[in-house]
A = this chain, B = another copy of it.
């Protein structure tokens, strides 16, 4: 196990009706003027935004609002948010929505207190060091941004999708009410579930040895997702399954399952070019990329894929031919994704094989990193496997 720091100071407020406590929570965490930041119409139509504003009013906390966050949140909205915050003297950003609203809120929170261009944090020119406090009311289990110090933003010019991260971006509080996710369409639910599993796999596939505790914690989240996801696809109103998935989504990405070990994140990087280019859902892109990546790198450590196959997907271990078990595990994962309604190849996603060179060019994987470092040729091959995958 490698040395590490783990700091997850977010207050999680979990369960039915907890969004009504948001006014008190903002006050408790030092906010006196709030930007309520959200996405499309569903949070408005469902009455959630009104309930949140009523809670702020009841606590005597003044607020302004900025809606219209795009599913792959754009830099243009971030600039708009920064301007509003500065003009209105906002000192607390409250994101209501999923990873997009939360990531956009984090970008605004950094940008308000930064003299330069906030994009510096995403282009790697500057490291996040301070930000306004952020709180969240989560409406989809997926990105894990409610408990993480991460944020991903897309630069509209050129559709460049890039991430930034730092402990200063961890939300002060996050309200997780599973009931808010019961109205999600099955496709979005499945995209979210895929993203959660991908966050774990990015940590699971490591070259660090002797990490039993985090291996087992990873598998705990994955087994939970394998059990609970089909239940919410079959019955969107299954509160209990929604609750298990929602907490699993936080655990998957606040890094408690990833400390002290090397991590991969190549699948995320490879996927970002897909959703950057086609504006598809991140989870759907991951469903296409991640099993393809697994197939491509499997021989780097067959036994680790056997561990996944047996512990997560219940495959029998083939002791004479471990590679068969590893393949069976990857196949089980892809079949699982298909069963919950995810695309598994380019055609189903709406991507085009002829765009692969352009995506590889934008990704620019010159300095490979992760479980098995990948160069441009490797990434091309992963895209090619993904393009034609079947179950």
Contact = CB atoms under 8 A, between A and B. Distances in A.
A344 to B, nearest CB: 25
What is the oligomeric copy number?
A: 2
A224 B244 contact: no
Interface in A159-216: 178, 209-214, 216
Contacts of A30: none
A265 interface: no
Tell me which of A1, A212, A217 has the highest count of chain B C-beta atoms within 10 A of its own C-beta. Answer: A212
A327 B286 CA distance: 44
A219 B217 contact: no
Nearest to A216: B220
A4 interface: yes
A1 B213 contact: no
A7 B8 CA distance: 9
A251 B3 CA distance: 17
A240 interface: yes
A260 interface: yes
Contact of A12 (B7, B220, B227): B7
B11 A5 contact: yes
Given A4-B15, A15-B4, A243 B260 contact: yes
A269 interface: no
A152 B211 CA distance: 31
A377 interface: no
Given A210-B240, A216-B223, A220-B217, A14 B18 contact: no
Interface in A231-253: 240-241, 243-244, 247-248, 251
A221 interface: yes
A13 interface: yes
Contact of A213 (B5, B7, B211, B247): B247
A27 B84 CA distance: 36
Contacts of A240: 1, 209-210
A interface, how many residues as a size bin? 35 or more
A217 B247 CA distance: 11
A259 interface: yes
Contacts of A4: 12, 14-15
Contacts of A8: 8-9
Contacts of A1: 15, 178, 240, 243-244, 247
Interface of A: 1-16, 18, 178, 209-214, 216-217, 219-221, 223-224, 227-228, 240-241, 243-244, 247-248, 251, 256, 259-260
24 contacts: A1-B243, A3-B16, A3-B18, A4-B12, A4-B15, A5-B12, A5-B14, A7-B11, A7-B12, A9-B11, A14-B259, A15-B260, A211-B244, A213-B220, A213-B224, A213-B247, A213-B251, A214-B247, A216-B219, A216-B220, A216-B224, A217-B217, A220-B220, A251-B256
